[in-house]
Amino acid sequence: MSGECECRCGLHINEDHFLAEVVDPTTGRTLGEGEEGELVLTSLTKEAFPVLRYRTHDLTALDRGPCQCGRTSARMRKVRHRTDDMLIVRGVNVYPSQVEDVLLKIEGIAPHYQIVVDREHGMDRMEVRIEVAEEIFSDVRADMVAFTGNVSDRLNEVLGLGVKVTLVEPGTVERTAGKTRHVIDNRSIE
């Protein structure tokens, strides 16, 4: 759909095949050049499966000005954020709500949790930290080990991803104005 040129200043959109627009994610109003909004695509040449103003949930801005490389197609700024909570870890789409669902199904309660994503040696690593509320705490160590194992297995089933599950003390998971910060993404954007 788009790709970087040697100037490395945005991705040239393949405008022969795609019509790109940027809209306000809340109102749907089409935005102008340079304004950041949700990327919406319409395919122009695709057969059998056309997309019409498809909302990508990616946040970007368009630049229609001339590029040093000589290409005249519009450029889009590299996508750094999405309009929803979704993360991509090792190529897998992960929604924090999926983690919440797994916890709910296992214990019937949703303890405070946090997803921490790091990149080690080029590999994405996802960790789910769960606050040990009274309902899930057991004096029997084997039960705790079984619990984390169970959560990890279920997450693996649901996401298709190997996830490390860590138990932490209540109140340790960051909260701002009472709302938990569910995702900490430590990966730098190169």
Partner 1 sequence: MTRLSEVIQLSVFIANESGRVSEVSKALGEAGINIRGFSVSDTADYGILRLIVDKPAEAHETLKNAGFTVKESGVICVDLPDQPGGLASVLKIVSEAGVNIEYVYSLIGTYVVLNVAHLERALALLKDRPVRIVTQEEIAAG
Pairing of strands 183-185, 113-120: parallel
Of residues 169 and 190, the one with the C-beta less far from partner 1 = 169
Closest CB to partner 1 among residues 79, 167? 167
Q: Least Å distance between CB 187 and partner 1?
A: 23
Assess contact for 169 and 101: CB atoms under 8 A. Answer: no
Residues of this chain that bind partner 1 (CB under 8 A): 132-134, 137-141, 144-145, 166-172
The distance in angstroms from the start CA to the end CA of the chain is 20
- Cβ closer to partner 1: 4 or 135? 135
The burial of 14, by beta-carbon neighbours within 10 Å (0-12 exposed, 13-18 middle, 19 or more buried), is given as middle
- Beta carbon of residue 167, minimum distance to partner 1 (angstroms, whole number): 5
- Calpha distance 125→163 (Å, rounded): 8
CB of 33 to partner 1, least distance (A): 50
DSSP for 158-186 reads HHSS--EEEEE-TT-S-EETTEE--EEE-
Which single residue is written with the structure tokens 């057969």? 47
CB of 64 to partner 1, least distance (A): 52
Least spacing, CB of residue 172 vs partner 1, in Å: 7
What 8-state DSSP symbol labels residue 54? Answer: E
Nearer to partner 1, 5 or 144 (CB): 144
Least distance (Å) from partner 1 to the CB of residue 160? 24
Nearer to partner 1, 140 or 189 (CB): 140
Q: How far apart are CA 162 and CA 157, in angstroms?
A: 9
Q: Which is nearer to partner 1, 55 or 125 (CB)?
A: 125
